[in-house]
Amino acid sequence: MSYDENGRAVVLGAGIAGLLTARVLSEHYDEVVVVERDELPDRPDHRRFVPQSHHAHGLLGSGREVLVALFPGFSAEMEAAGAITAASSGPEMGDRSIFVVRGGTTIRIPIWWTGGFCASRVLIEHAVRARVRALPNVTIRDRTPALGLLTSASRRLVTGVRTPDGELGADLVVDASGRRSALPEWLEEIGYRPPPESAVHSDVRYASLVTEPDPDFAPEWLIVLGAQAAGGASVGGVVLSIENGLLHISLGTTGGRAPLPTAIDELRAVADRTTAPVTAEALRRSTPVGPVRTFHVRTNVRRYYDRMSEMPAGLVALGDAASASNPIYGQGMSVAALSAVALGRLLTAEDGAVRPGFERRAARAIAATSSGAWRLALGEDLRYGCRTEGVRTPLSVRFDAGYRNRLERAAALDPEVAMAFNDVLNLHRPLSSLGSPRIARRVLRPLRDRNPAVLSETVVAVLGLS
């Protein structure tokens, strides 16, 4: 490959990560080819190899910003397709996002601060795919799985991928194929050690369904997040208003609990035990429009491509292929968006040319965009006692549980704490920002006269002073 010419880029996977990567690369390559093993529908619909699409997905505020920036007019297109947007809801919609934390504490957040589109994953993906298909230098080949890497004779340079249709040459290959990525095995096949990994065995189970609200049911909320089971058990509920007036309801468990029921009456009984009565109310006052779907994710993996001792040129991984945290926290689409933008930003900084060492710089940039989400999810998983392997747990990851509980309670009463908390949840700011002196003072203020020892220990832990 000539480092002064960017002829063709090949992207593996046509999910959100692959599509946004193709959009970014279209500004730097003469040709971008996306290869996808699945058959892609010509309308918003589920795909065979994406079973998780049947479950509630969140587009965080950071992800929404990327989509709007990459695709001007995207909000209007979503509204035309039936999604709920700021324009369609009007200026009086107010704080219609409800975040229910441990103990039943409710935090109200302006809905558009949390993401901005009330829509299903399949509608968002369909709208993005249509935009990417329209790019003149991008081709999407479905039913075309990548089978392995092509390399130079020295194996120091990736030159493309093998497919059932033959060899597909490339100046850059980007793996955006998701959490089941085969890239570590392919690297071993060409003589490289796979990247170091961290694994969290969160053992997440979902039960989800789409419902149509009863005619007399007009809830004040559009989104209900994080409704925990009474008594602190690791069962949570999510209700999302999606396109065409429907509700997407998901109940999930973490930490190896028994599978959730698929019978609607039994699922309602589970919802009755959560700390957000609106979750159960949504199930009672709406009619299913399809079956209850279940899904099981045993392990979440972060692959440290930025720490590989040796890596071939011409290869990058991002999205869930690089860092797949617990899906119950709804970070996946937004992390993919941020990683794609980081890749594009690096290309722009290097005048659009892939120069020696680009792959390592890209791996570091992508790792930086996904590390915050991974740490945030890891901190929650550790609270549930999930087993880990190869996981580093500094203070910023363990994040004192007592402080987190106080933070959540303070966010329900203090708008500044709520906004800081939401900034972190939406991946606008790092987890460490919640331990800043200003926020810590506001979170811990009620404790000063009651238990100075707890205050001292908590400040030390949160601010990393020990």
Kindly list the domain boundaries of the chain, sorted by start residue: 8-73+121-198+299-378, 203-297, 395-463
**Is 80 exceeded by the pLDDT of residue 466?**
no
- The predicted-structure confidence for 61-88, as pLDDT tens digits, reads as follows 899 899 999 999 998 999 999 988 765 5
The residues that bridge with 228 in the sheet, in sequence order, are 236
Confidence (pLDDT) at 464: 35
Q: At 368, which amino acid appears? A: A
Q: Span 345-368, mean pLDDT?
A: 89
Please give the structure tokens belonging to residue 165.
Answer: 């249709």
Amino acid 332: pLDDT? 92
Residue for token pair 């497919």: 163
For residues 98-118, give the mean pLDDT: 62
Say if residue 310's pLDDT is above 70.
yes
411: CB partners within 8 A, 6+ apart: 101, 107, 417, 418, 421
pLDDT > 70: what percent of the chain?
A: 83
Position 403 scores a pLDDT of 81
Q: Which of 172-186, 213-227, 243-257, 315-329 has the lowest mean pLDDT?
A: 213-227
Least trusted range by pLDDT, from 99-113, 266-280, 283-297, 436-450: 99-113
| pLDDT at residue 335, rounded to an integer | 96
* pLDDT tens, position by position, 226-248: 766 655 556 778 888 899 999 99
pLDDT number for residue 252: 86
CATH number belonging to the domain at 203-297, selected among 3.20.20.150, 3.30.465.10, 3.30.70.2450, 3.40.47.10: 3.30.70.2450
Q: Over 90: is that where the pLDDT of 304 sits?
A: yes
Instruction: Tell whether the model's pLDDT for residue 107 goes beyond 70.
Output: no
Amino acid 227: pLDDT = 62
pLDDT at 191: 96
- Residue 270: pLDDT above 70? yes
**Which pLDDT score is estimated for 24?**
98
Fold of the CATH domain 8-73+121-198+299-378: FAD/NAD(P)-binding domain (3.50.50)
Q: Which residue is it, tokens 């060899």?
A: 167
Inform me whether the pLDDT recorded for 135 exceeds 80: yes
- What's the pLDDT band for 193 if we cut at 50, 70, 90? very high
pLDDT band at 128 (very low <50, low <70, confident <90, very high): very high
Asked if domains 8-73+121-198+299-378 and 203-297 share a fold, the reply is no
Task: Share the mean pLDDT of the chain.
Answer: 85
In this prediction, residue 425 carries a pLDDT of 85
Of the two residues 222 and 390, the one the predictor is more confident about is: 390
Res 118 pLDDT > 90: no
Using CA atoms in the order 377, 379, 380, 383, what is the torsion angle rounded to 10 degrees?
A: 160
Interval 374-402: pLDDT, tens: 988 888 888 777 889 988 665 555 556 67
Q: What is the rounded CA–CA span in Å between residue 323 and residue 45?
A: 26
Beta strands across the sheet bearing 148-151 = 148-151, 158-163, 166-169
Region of poorest pLDDT, from 177-186, 201-210, 411-420: 411-420
Has this prediction a pTM greater than 0.95? no
Confidence of residue 410 (pLDDT cuts 50, 70, 90): confident
